[in-house]
Structure 1
Amino acid sequence: MSPVLDAPSYLSLDARSRQTSLDPHTAAFVQDPYRAYAFLHAHAPTFFWQEYGFWCFAGHDDVNRLLRDRRFGREKPEGAAEDGYAGPRDHLVDFDAFSSHSMLELEPPAHTRLRTLVNRAFVSRQVERLRPMIESLSHALVDSIEVDGEADLLPTFATPVPITVIAEMLGVPASMNDQLLHWSHDMVAMHMFGRTREVEVRANTAAREFADFLTGYVEERRKTPGDDLLSVLIAARDGGDRLSDAELTASAIQLLNAGHEATVHQIGNAIRAILHQGGDPRRFFAGPGAAAATVEECIRHDAPLHMFRRYTYQTVEIEPGVTVRPGEQIGLLLGAANRDPRAYSEPDRFDPGRIDQKNVSFGAGIHFCIGAPLARLEMEVALSVLFDRLPGLRLAQEPAYRATYHFHGLEKLDCRW
């Protein structure tokens, strides 16, 4: 064994084997994963993460390449453990039924067919039509808190923007927002490290209740279609093909979950990052293209999702000393890739004007996030309105991150103005 001595106290690395021990629940790592990432970039950008039991990749070029490599994918091969869990799954029947029809968990040809049908209802021109609604909503949210002079901006601003927008897009009543959030949180918890049986049971219950609600709501929409996304999904066809009821329900659940879960964290992380720069925050949104550039830097600088997993479909020597076999998983560290010093100049510096602007926060390849145009628009409009209306906004206290790796978002965002 040849341990690297300058590692953070909570991380151990054997330099020769690249075996790394790092509990992702460790408080110091939760609050600042970028210190560990910087160490790994310097000593082992490819490493075997013992707690997860698979090889992980922190380098930007490696992550970008492997996301596009069709020898790896999201669909679980026969006999492979599900996210490292190989035990009985009788208590996860409803969650697994959802996953089996979710395009996020499928590969071609099933993925291609589903994405083609869903994408027709989710193209950029459809999203751009939402700009006035997002702007009006953002103003209304600021109106509701402005006189108070202080607020936790996570529940009062960062959360209602994306959940209201995606529910509006799908035609789901705004009165369902709190219930949708509850179901979504319970289902997303399935992807957290070290989940418990209790978490799994809650996720299964949420999947069943969510599907039951949407099944009934889809029937209503079939009888009285509108111009909402759900009506478009019901009518979506590719030649003589269309979404089955199970595919339609799974697609709607996926869009509702993905349409707000990550964006809530990204808006919160962005507000924190911008306020850390000091001065008048409006400067980041002034001038042509400034808002878009600022949003892109926020997405790179402090992403809300730090790991994508992929299954291996054939024996692959990814690099010397790193061979993976069918059924094994690999971890692609998006948050680390976005801070790779080989890909960025001064990667830890917040700089919307950087000439090396790029990121892998939305993934890459065939699973590139279908909602990326919507997330970017929501952030651009909502943040512009927030800082224009409250230019004196400041942190009331340093916000803490939730211990929910691989999601990376704040517990609270207490601010004053």
Structure 2
Amino acid sequence: MTTHQLSVSQDPRDPGFVQDPYRFYAEMHRASPVFFWQDYGLWCVAGYDQVNALLRDRRLGRENRWGAPLNPVEGRGHLSDFDRIESGSLLEREPPAHTRLRTLVNRAFVSRSVERLRPRIGALAHDLVDALPLGGSFDLLPSFATPIPLTVICELLGVPVGRAADLLAWSHAMCEMYVPHRSRATEERANRASAEFGAFLTAHIEEHRHTGADDLLSALIAVRDAGEKLSDAELISTCVLLLNAGHEATVHQTGNAVKTILDQGGDPRRFFATPELAAASIEEALRFDAPLHMFTRYAYEAVDLGPVTLKPGEQVALLLGAANRDPSAFEAADEFRPGRADQKNVSFGAGLHFCIGAPLARLEMQQSLSVLFDRRPDLALATAPRYRDSYHFHGLDSLMVR
């Protein structure tokens, strides 16, 4: 592949970029929505129409058919536990394995099923607001944004909420594997977390199978024990994925959404006055400042991107955050406009790998932020929030409010 005029250098850990990647995206929309990002060594796609189409293109997939996940390199022995969990993950598989695994968990996450969780989410939100300080400043991320999705996914799956601190630590360590230019220490930390997470789930599953509980884990154990559709390794990988994905992105998006709402000024209750307004506001928050900015795929056959043709085995990065701000797809793309007629964000992906937890994430944010702003309409930023150095996961380090 040639890179010449379409080759771009932008350090993804540059502080200016971390705090505002949208300026870079705007430049690429003007210059070339398909470009070679030198710092990643990947061809990237930033335009909405092309990202949306490629997410649905079956010539591309998540499964690395040429080696270990996550761009295999020599000497991955120190990542054996991490690779073992990732290789059995629904997110990293393609049909027929993906179809089989997704079918097993899909029923718990469709809109009809998650809607019954609305009262529980509302009650959690009220309890957390009751506990918020009435004076001084405090960090809304650990005190409000994190407990709701973490508690809900634990209860839904059947994992003790009392282990939340461990689950958070393991999840954060594993997600650091996706930070660019990660260190050996980061990799070893992620592998250790994977081993501990797997050991915990193995013991918990053995104990849980005798409880007769009515939860997703019990249903998956029953399938595993029937010996037909789910191996032990797939059961562990599926639980890890659901627990990690079930809270990580939602925490980031909740923080981003609160920041966005408060940046608009005025009474925040106007964005949540009715369920319809709440849904529109959350959908626009998802577009305006998404929690996941890059999703990579492997080419399984030649794929023409316009200026370049991917060869089988090559990766392409689909820039979800850039696609959501494409001025050719969204009117006033850099403005926060709930209820916009052109709402079609790709924050949850599209196609075969569309986020299975999207209905739950939407409900959690609609319900929790409606309660938060109804109870604390005078909430204000205490300090200017800063984003974590964690591209392509795009979330705040902290959210200090008063």
Is the structural similarity TM-score above 0.5?
Answer: yes
Match of 1:50, as an amino acid? Q
Match of 1:52, as an amino acid? Y
Counterpart of 1:30?
18
SS of the equivalent of 2:174 reads helix
Match of 1:411, as an amino acid? D
SS of the equivalent of 1:208 reads helix
Whether the 8 Å CA contact 1:310–1:330 is kept in 2: the answer is yes
- Aligned to 2:129, which of 142, 145, 153? 142
Query: Structure 1 pair 82/255, CA: closer, same or farther in 2 (3 Å)?
Result: closer
* 1:287 Cα deviation from its structure 2 partner: 2.8
Gaps of 5+ in 1: 1-13
Counterpart of 1:114?
101
SS of the equivalent of 1:70 reads coil
1:163 and 2:150 correspond: yes
- Aligned to 1:403, which of 379, 382, 389? 389
Counterpart of 1:66?
54
Whether the 8 Å CA contact 1:153–1:414 is kept in 2: the answer is yes
1:359 and 2:341 correspond: no
Match of 1:58, as an amino acid? A
* 1:148 Cα deviation from its structure 2 partner: 3.5
1:39 and 2:24 correspond: no
Counterpart of 1:193?
180
- Aligned to 1:374, which of 341, 360, 382? 360
CA distance in 1, matches of 2:3, 2:333: 24
TM-score where L is the length of structure 2: 0.96
TM-score where L is the length of structure 1: 0.93
* 1:118 Cα deviation from its structure 2 partner: 1.5
Whether the 8 Å CA contact 1:134–1:381 is kept in 2: the answer is yes
Counterpart of 1:53?
41
CA distance in 1, matches of 2:227, 2:238: 19
CA distance in 2, matches of 1:322, 1:28: 29
Whether the 8 Å CA contact 2:34–2:305 is kept in 1: the answer is no
1:308 and 2:299 correspond: no
How many residues matched? 401
1:392 and 2:387 correspond: no
Counterpart of 1:8?
none
* 1:119 Cα deviation from its structure 2 partner: 1.0
Whether the 8 Å CA contact 2:105–2:216 is kept in 1: the answer is no
Whether the 8 Å CA contact 1:184–1:257 is kept in 2: the answer is yes
Name whichever of 180-189 and 281-290 sits farther off: 281-290
- Aligned to 2:228, which of 216, 231, 241? 241
* 1:353 Cα deviation from its structure 2 partner: 2.0
* 1:246 Cα deviation from its structure 2 partner: 1.2
CA distance in 2, matches of 1:366, 1:280: 39
Counterpart of 1:220?
207
- Aligned to 1:123, which of 107, 110, 127? 110
- Aligned to 1:262, which of 246, 249, 259? 249
CA distance in 1, matches of 2:142, 2:200: 24
CA distance in 2, matches of 1:338, 1:276: 19
CA distance in 2, matches of 1:189, 1:314: 30
1:295 and 2:292 correspond: no
SS of the equivalent of 1:407 reads coil
CA distance in 1, matches of 2:275, 2:128: 25
Q: Deviations over 1:183-227 (max 9, x none)?
A: 000011111111111111111111111111111111112111211
Whether the 8 Å CA contact 2:48–2:323 is kept in 1: the answer is yes
Gaps of 5+ in 2: none
CA distance in 2, matches of 1:413, 1:406: 19
Match of 2:6, as an amino acid? R
CA distance in 2, matches of 1:15, 1:208: 40
* 1:151 Cα deviation from its structure 2 partner: 1.4
Question: What percent of counterpart residues are identical?
Answer: 62
* 1:126 Cα deviation from its structure 2 partner: 2.1
CA distance in 1, matches of 2:87, 2:127: 39
